[in-house]
Amino acid sequence: MTPLLTVNDLSIGFGANPPAVRGVSFAVNPGETLALVGESGSGKTVTCRTILRILPRSARFLSGQIALNLPDRQIDLTALGERAMRRVRGNLVSMIFQEPMRSLSPLHRIGNQVSEALCLHRSDGQRTPRRVAQVRVLETFARVGFPDPDRAYQAYPFELSGGMRQRAMIAMAMVTRPALLIADEPTTALDVTTQAQVLGLMKDLQRETGMAMIIVTHDLGVVANMAERVVVMHKGRVMESGPARDVLGTPGHAYTRQLFNAAPAIPAQTQAALPPANTDPILELKSVSKTYAVRGRNGWAPRTIVQACRGIDLSVQRGKTLAIVGESGSGKTTAARIALGAEVPDEGGEVLFHGPGGAAPLPVHLLDGPARVAFRRQAQMVFQDPYSSLSPRMRIIDALCEPLDIHGIGTPAERRDKAAEMLAQVGLGRDMMYRYPHAFSGGQRQRLSVARALMLDPSLLVCDEPTSALDVSVQDQILTLLEDIRDRMTLSYLFISHDLAVVARIADEVAVMRQGLVVEQATPDTLFHAPRHPYTRALIAAQPTPDISRPIDLSVVAQGAGSPQAWPEEFRFDAAGAPALTQVGDGHLVRAHV
């Protein structure tokens, strides 16, 4: 079989730097999916953008051939003029990008943006008339799963959810029936259940149209679910390539094996386990609710009430990790903010902090002014994005010493020693203190964030998705670090995440949240062994595992991730009422009528 696309000895450089892509070659057969796998900086995105020549101005094409072999003709993409290239883009080869919100213009209707792809390209020498284009777009909308294509045609991007926006992007790429679809991290910005559904949709469309796909991803689980062939890239070079079954089954290259070992996965075989005894809590949330009044469209419209948290009862045991898992909008971050005293719960909710040494519990929800500042010495936060949580204009030592400065602890010399000590704790050298954040990689920055959180010797750390902005191998290191310092410094964690695989590894107890409610709560082992709630089941089923023999079961995902009204009778809830959280086993709670 002649491959549809061949890339041969491709090298791309930026300015005077060493090439970002070095001698990359691969081929994609018609109707086949190829996955380009690698971590950030591996050159996978540059490679896929070179095919359509969508590169920053500073990029230099150093060598290589890219050829597109259609049934009737062969096109040399590297030799093509700009005008001819435009006829390839979006017509023969389409592309989907990572962030569906930012990849669509917020000012133009979805229908306008999608039908434009059709109107730009002539089929059989004829420009597609607008009327015909609209019919084709509406058909495509129906195909990619819009319940009401006409409405979607008239909608603006900000009126759609993330998953629906990515469906619109897929419709835009598919409407011209391209021979090749390039998807650059198409599901990285989506919730895990949405990711599963979007991946399923892409596969179905491929089966129907027979197009080839290139999926660029860092997630081996996505690869296992989608690809027939895999190309593993590292620092601009191809490390290993071949059929997915071989590469994923028996990885030949050491780097691929390293990626595998780092990738967190939900354990395949588990047994029920007992939760930590509720004897020595450090933090307790008691019937914590939070409602926000969202202002109406104008002065006259009534305010709408949003229930971010509804009656949450949770406790973090001393020296243990409680994880809150949920998708965006589930209320997990609000719960964390309330736990830190950054937000006040609604009337009736209580947040109690039990300091070390058996002192009387501190009512966090009642603190104000100086008392709240004092409380922050004991509870600190590690944030999601290590790139924006460190000021680029402060040296590391200043960032680290600032907490001590605020609380007036120690002399400058003592503060410096403390900073050096904490840097050693997170595995960084003393000599790094006088650098600025830009000199550090993402993983090192996250270590710095942890070090900063530790400067005040807190007993509780709230970690808000601390690894979701990081590459898998770095994610692995940070999780190891967090486990390590938890045991070494007897810390307790409240761990917020959307990633069950990460939680499976670090948590002692897991609470699954959906629409402000805790729907299931158990130890990770129990949860993965015998999940009871349809939503938990959907979350587990949607998690892509780097194992070809365990594909995502979309029917489970679709049922659990849908609206609560679509759940089986005993689990249903709405804004007015919900079943109580009921004990179904040892330390296993499910929100259901039993």
Residues that bind another protein (CB under 8 A): 52, 54, 86-91, 94-95, 97-99, 102-109, 116-117, 120-121, 156, 158-161, 169, 172, 294-299, 301, 304
Closest approach of another protein to the CB of residue 99, in Å: 6
Residues near 131 by beta carbon (within 8 Å), at least 6 away in sequence: none
Using the Cα atoms of residue 124, residue 126, residue 130 and residue 132 in order, give the sign of their dihedral: negative
Nearer to another protein, 103 or 521 (CB): 103
Nearer to another protein, 169 or 519 (CB): 169
Using the Cα atoms of residue 543, residue 544, residue 548 and residue 554 in order, give the sign of their dihedral: positive
H/E segment holding residue 285:
strand 281-294
Q: What are phi and psi of 561, to 5 degrees?
A: -85, -5
Q: Distance of alpha carbon 139 from its chain centroid, rounded?
A: 30
Question: C-alpha distances in angstroms, 189 versus 33, 105, 133, 156, 468?
Answer: 21, 17, 30, 19, 10
Query: 15's torsion region: left (phi>0), alpha (psi -120 to 50) or beta?
Result: left
Nearer to another protein, 117 or 454 (CB): 117
CA distance 479 to 486: 11
Nearer to another protein, 103 or 333 (CB): 103
Closest approach of another protein to the CB of residue 388, in Å: 17
Nearer to another protein, 28 or 522 (CB): 28
Nearer to another protein, 53 or 395 (CB): 53
Question: C-alpha distances in angstroms, 272 versus 324, 526, 529?
Answer: 19, 4, 6
Nearer to another protein, 128 or 225 (CB): 128
Closest approach of another protein to the CB of residue 108, in Å: 8
Closest approach of another protein to the CB of residue 178, in Å: 11
Nearer to another protein, 122 or 207 (CB): 122
CA distance 53 to 47: 9
Closest approach of another protein to the CB of residue 455, in Å: 36
Q: What are phi and psi of 569, to 5 degrees?
A: -40, -50
Nearer to another protein, 91 or 449 (CB): 91
CA distance 327 to 162: 12
Place of tokens 């100086």: 370
Closest approach of another protein to the CB of residue 151, in Å: 11
Using the Cα atoms of residue 408, residue 412, residue 413 and residue 415 in order, give the sign of their dihedral: positive
Closest approach of another protein to the CB of residue 166, in Å: 12
Nearer to another protein, 113 or 521 (CB): 113
Nearer to another protein, 439 or 575 (CB): 575
Neighbours of 293 (CB within 10 A): 10
Closest approach of another protein to the CB of residue 212, in Å: 17
349 DSSP 8-state letter: -
Closest approach of another protein to the CB of residue 93, in Å: 9
Question: C-alpha distances in angstroms, 52 versus 56, 86, 232, 311, 320?
Answer: 12, 9, 21, 52, 50
Q: Distance of alpha carbon 92 from its chain centroid, rounded?
A: 30
CA distance 312 to 290: 10
Closest approach of another protein to the CB of residue 588, in Å: 36
Q: Which amino acid is at 182?
A: I
Closest approach of another protein to the CB of residue 163, in Å: 12
Are 278 and 315 within 8 A, CB to CB? Answer: yes
Q: Which amino acid is at 69?
A: N
Closest approach of another protein to the CB of residue 115, in Å: 11
Nearer to another protein, 95 or 362 (CB): 95
Are 265 and 283 within 8 A, CB to CB? Answer: no
